Structure 1
Amino acid sequence: MLLNLAAYFPVLLFLLIGLGLGGGLVSLGKLLGPRKPDIHKNSPYECGFEAFGDARMKFDVRYYLVAILFIVFDLETAFLFPWGVALRDIGWSGFIAMMIFLLEFMLGFAYIWRRGGLSWE
């Protein structure tokens, strides 16, 4: 089987135009942009106050736990919209499958809540 490369020409053209436009605009900004550094522009931004401590300080594990829990529950709730849109097409079997999924979702949420994974002390 021969591969027809002519079908990929629009993709190649799109990539070349995108890379050229992006590189050209960044270069234009570097060439024509103002170069007036002062003490405020070169200082690190730290929420309006001077930085304290070491940049490699340890974070509490609960920070990461809350972040991971947010991602997990956010992805689980992302299944609700397509299910709601296709509910008429999938019928009762799809409805029951989603109810089982939501039951597992609520059990997981209750478990995490009961274990204190959502509280911040």
Structure 2
Amino acid sequence: MKEYLPIFLQVIVAIGFAAAALIFSVILGKSAKRNKAKDSAYECGMPAVGEAQPRFSVKFYLVAMLFILFDIEIVFMYPWAVIYREYIAHHGADIFWYMLSFVAVLTVGYVYAIMKGALDWKR
């Protein structure tokens, strides 16, 4: 229990600070009369027209997920590239074939996405 005392103390200080900030904000804050103009969103001096949230195409989300997929591929390649020389000296060329198979699977996914038209912006 003695090891957790600094953590509990930090949590108590954080909660106390947040509560104090909210209480002082309510006490010292300026309360003004509310009206429609003050409650509306500020859009560079222009009156707000239309829906609050525009609808995005599903294509946007598809491209975002493909980006995350291929971004994660690169994230996995960095540690592999860092340990490649050290590992190959001790264990042989197996690590090369593992990475080649990993890249091959992702390449198949990339070709599939292109063939399905997932990256075609004109559609």
Cα distance change, pair 65–45 in 1 and its aligned pair in 2 (3 A): farther
Q: Is 1:9 aligned with 2:10?
A: no
Gaps of 5+ in 1: none
Q: CA separation of 1:35/1:90 partners in 2, compared to 1, >3 Å: closer, same or farther?
A: farther
| One-letter amino acid matched to 1:94 | I
The answer for the alignment partner of 1:22 in structure 2 is 18
Task: Give TM-score scaled by structure 1 length.
Answer: 0.67
Distance 1:42 1:118, change over 3 A: same
CA deviation vs aligned residue, 1:24-48 (integer Å, no higher than 9, x gap): 3344444445556676652135686
Distance 1:104 1:30 in 2: 57
Structure 2's unaligned 5+ residue stretches are: none
> SS at the partner of 2:117?
coil
Q: Distance in 1 between matches of 2:102 and 2:38?
A: 51
Amino acid at match of 1:23: A
Distance in 1 of aligned mates of 2:23 and 2:95: 53
Question: What's the Cα RMSD here?
Answer: 3.2
1:50 is the counterpart of 2:48: yes
Task: Give the C-alpha shift of residue 83 in structure 1.
Answer: 2.0
Q: Deviations over 1:14-65 (max 9, x none)?
A: 222222223333444444455566766521356866332485x864332322
* Percent identity of equivalent pairs: 31
Aligned AA (1:60): S
Structure with the bigger RCO (C-alpha within 8 Å, sep 6+) is: 1
- Alpha-carbon distance in structure 2 between the residues aligned to 1:32 and 1:85: 55
Pairing 1:29-68 to 2, within 5 Å after superposition:
29-35=25-31, 41-45=38-42, 50-53=48-51, 59-68=56-65
